[in-house]
Amino acid sequence: MGWLLISTFLLTIPGSAFPKENWLGKIWFDKWVHIGMFVIMTFLWCWAILKREWVDFRKLKQSFFIIGVICFCYGVAMEFVQKYFIANRSFDAGDIIADGIGCVIGVVLILKWYKKN
C-alpha cells in the first residue's frame, strides 16, 4: 500500500514541479521512471500474495497475471487523471507503454524469484 501511495503522489505532482532539463528528455528519463515504478509496484503486490498458501502454481501465475493487469490499468487511469485533473500534466501514450513494460518485468521477476526460492 505504501508504494501505491508514493506512486500516486509522484504521478499527480503538477508538471511545473519538474525540472526543465533538456538532457533528461534525450535519455527518456521519464519513461525509465515509469518502468521502475511499475516494476516495483507489480512485484510488491505479487509478493504480498505469496504470504498465502499456494498449492497450485498455475493459480499463482494466474494471480500474478491479474495483478499485472490491474497495475497496468492503474497506470492507464493515472494518465487520464493527469490529462484532466493535474495542472501542467498531459496524457502520454509513451508513459502507458512504459507502465506496461514495467508490469511485465515485475511479473517476470516475481516468477523467477518464486521459482528460485
What pLDDT was estimated at residue 24?
Answer: 56
pLDDT at 95 over 90: yes
Question: Which residue is listed with cell 523467477?
Answer: 112
Digit-coded pLDDT (tens) for 40-82: 999 999 999 987 777 788 999 999 999 999 999 999 999 999 9
Digit-coded pLDDT (tens) for 22-46: 655 655 788 999 999 999 999 999 9
Instruction: Sketch the domain layout of the chain as residue ranges.
Output: 29-116
Tell me the one-letter amino acid at 56: D
DSSP symbol at 88: T
CA dihedral 98, 101, 106, 108 (to 10 degrees): -170
